[in-house]
Chain A
Amino acid sequence: MARESFDKEIQFLRMLALAGGAYSRQQFADRLGISVHTYDKTLRNLKGMVSILQQGLPAEQGTELSEWLRYNYYESADPLLLFLFRAKSLKETESIRLSLLLTALQTKELTAKDLQDVCSEQMPTDGPLPDEKTIRGDLKYLEEVGVILRVNGGRPYRYRAANDLIDQLSDDELMDLYDYVDVIANTQIPSVQGYLLRDTLKKVLRKRGFHPEAVETHRYKYNYHSRILDEAHLYTIFGAIQQRKMLHFLYLSPKKGKNYASQNTNPLFERETKGAIETVLPIRVVYDHQYGRWYLIGHHSRMGIMKFRMEGLTQIEEADAVEEDEFAKKLSKVEEQLKTSWVTDTTRIIKVVARFYSPNRSGANFILERVEAQGQWGVITENSDSTFLYEIMVNGIYEIKPWLRSFGSSCEILEPAWLRKQFIAEWKEIQTYYESI
């Protein structure tokens, strides 16, 4: 499977999820840097996949993809973008064969020879039947990904499905497990494998006779669904970091408006590549809870520490490894600098002081609660009934500023003086936005 195709699908889905409904076919294609023909083809493939995956789901979930993506931020905890990870292309015969093998091994321990017989009996007759070598290759793959295991004993080896985790749990325990996986996949990162497991457990519960609504008791409000698309790159980066390897990629800055550039191997993608080829030593990734976005933090031989939005990374490839020493040095530098970043800013440290005003009403002081919960390493002092001071040493003000501003009139900037001036100017301008009402 060409990596190319996933880059395209990720960008495609991200744009659908973020800007759903905004663009015409032509505009959408232009922004992705693909032809309308490719746009149509990609959409058709994705729709095809959705309709197959949707079987057994209520029909009202819609047929239009953008509608489907928009569907139910409140009404379902199903991560709609998970299907990206189900998009790997596969030959029809292979998917039939693998499913038959797995099915045969659900309840029985069988040898490769037994399984070859199963295939001869059950594979569609219009194609060639798999030979023993093919079956052994399949078994090796299934064992590698852990869905089957080899049973103790000599040759010929016997295999069975690796379903103990599920089979050995009672209905009640399975329910608890489903809930735990549901909660953790939704609230913690990384979550893709958790969502895949959640899908599996959901099916088991139905199989054991639970009502479909039994798996719909939890809701997650204000979840950043598109975050799971970026997890596509997470393991590639993780692998490179573990081996201290450089990464080589084409970076498309999300700020520049074009979100996808093709490798011009495919005549459908004859567009100019706009973006920068980068080679960096990956050090860490940062997840920003304010926007649900991921960043790669790397070290560049000339530029020093660099930050890339994960969504802009395409055509990632591993390059040469560096010495352990060198990696350790860069890592400690990155960790030191990120210690005082609100998100990823590594510019000069500034002291910011703000006065917060507690709500006049009696009862819970939700301003104080919010500052305590979200103020990261900032310190609260001079706490009285009506106000408190918040002080933080932070790299630059650019990243903390939106958070401070989100408190509206409950937050007054004291230091630095220029930031105070900026806030006054901004509030004046915001006031003009709503003057005429």
Chain B
Amino acid sequence: MNPFEKIFNFQIISRLDEMGSLALTSQERSWLKTMLVHPASTEAFTPTTLSKLNILLDAESSTEVQEIIIEKAKGQERQVYHPMLRTLRRIIMQDHGILLSYHIKHGGIKNNQSGFPHKLEYNMFKREWYLQWYNTRHHSLMSTKLKNIVSVEETLVPLDRVEALKVMLERLLEERKDYTWIQVVPTFNVELSRILYAFSCFEKSVSFDEDSGIYRIKVNYMRDESEFLLSKIRFLGLRVKIIEGEHLKRRMRESASMALARYADL
């Protein structure tokens, strides 16, 4: 199996697009056949579709490449698929509204909250699905774990209202964005690759000052996710230092003194 087959070439692909034609290779079908073995497939398809797919792919060979792969430091896969994805993605696609009942953090259930769904978001570290939605009564942007959703009902939203809600959602998301500047402590420049990889799961850009040999990384993040960014910064330890972002700096100082206090106790 060679992922560099000429059939994947960009010129062929764009010509086929223009002609409205498809090229479906056995590599892609083999990959699918192998991946359909994953237990998530039973939640992703109706039993009829799944058996249809299995019949269609029957003659295909499956890929055994996974045999040679050892995955390390992987978070427990709590959830790859969630049965509610199918329903919710269709509601989102049709620009419909929702009436949502869900468990809240400290116990209890919030019933029949009306809202407008935005995206289904998978957090790669928590390995869990969330629904991003706008609560129309409280005028707030919400993120609810799919596993906490008790029930969802579809509602109709007038067309002109849909556009306004979308604009509103974009604005609220935009308002949550923040950034910080992180400097690579120069003694650790030899570990630059490790550091850049660690931040490569964020939207970021890098600047380099040749005279001082200093690398700075501008990380864009969502304000409600600052704790996750902090855990990455602590992960890297002495290698990096926050140089802009007062809240994050303060939190790092707190972490350090609280950690030292733990050790001082004994």
Contact = CB atoms under 8 A, between A and B. Distances in A.
Contacts of B24: 146-147, 161-163, 165-166, 197, 200
A325 B91 CA distance: 57
A297 B56 CA distance: 36
A226 B200 CA distance: 8
B69 interface: yes
A437 B250 contact: yes
Contacts of A180: 35, 40-41, 44-45, 81
B49 A431 contact: no
B175 interface: no
Interface in A11-54: 17-23, 27, 49, 52-53
A103 interface: yes
Given A200-B23, A373-B76, A433-B241, A27 B203 contact: no
Residue of B29, B222, B261 ringed by the most chain A CB atoms within 10 A: B29
Contacts of A284: 68-70
Contacts of B211: none
Given A86-B13, A288-B73, A289-B73, A145 B7 contact: yes
Interface in A231-286: 231-232, 234-235, 237-238, 241-242, 254-255, 257, 284-286
A315 interface: no
Nearest to B201: A222
A32 to B, nearest CB: 14
Nearest to B233: A406
B250 to A, nearest CB: 7
Contact of A92 (B11, B29, B41, B230): B11
Nearest to B107: A363
A102 interface: yes
State the majority secondary structure of interface residues on B.
Answer: helix
A59 interface: no
A95 B9 contact: yes
B259 interface: yes
B4 A430 contact: no
Interface string B27-70: 11111100100101100111001001100110000011110111
Size class of the contact patch on chain B: 35 or more
B223 interface: no
A177 to B, nearest CB: 7
Interface stretch (A124-132, A150-158, A168-176, A316-324): A168-176
A207 interface: yes
B229 to A, nearest CB: 10
Interface in B1-37: 1-17, 19-32, 35
A341 B72 contact: yes
A285 B253 contact: no
Contacts of B215: 22
B85 interface: yes
A214 to B, nearest CB: 5
Interface string B93-104: 100000000000
Interface in A57-86: 70, 72-74, 83, 85-86
A177 B56 CA distance: 13
B193 A255 contact: yes
A219 B74 CA distance: 20
B31 A197 contact: yes
Nearest to A52: B14
B140 interface: no
Interface in B189-232: 190-194, 196-198, 200-208, 210, 215, 220, 222, 225, 228, 230-232
A85 B196 CA distance: 23
A408 interface: yes
A183 B196 contact: no
Contacts of A427: 256, 259-260, 263
Given A95-B11, A184-B38, A431 B4 contact: no
A98 interface: yes
Top 5 closest pairs, chain A to chain B, by CB:
A146-B26, A409-B258, A193-B31, A73-B203, A99-B15
Given A52-B11, A184-B35, 5 more contacts: A72-B203, A179-B86, A193-B3, A342-B72, A431-B253
23 contacts: A18-B200, A22-B208, A49-B10, A102-B16, A161-B21, A168-B56, A169-B52, A176-B49, A179-B89, A180-B45, A188-B38, A196-B3, A196-B27, A197-B32, A200-B22, A211-B93, A225-B200, A255-B191, A291-B200, A343-B72, A407-B231, A429-B238, A435-B253
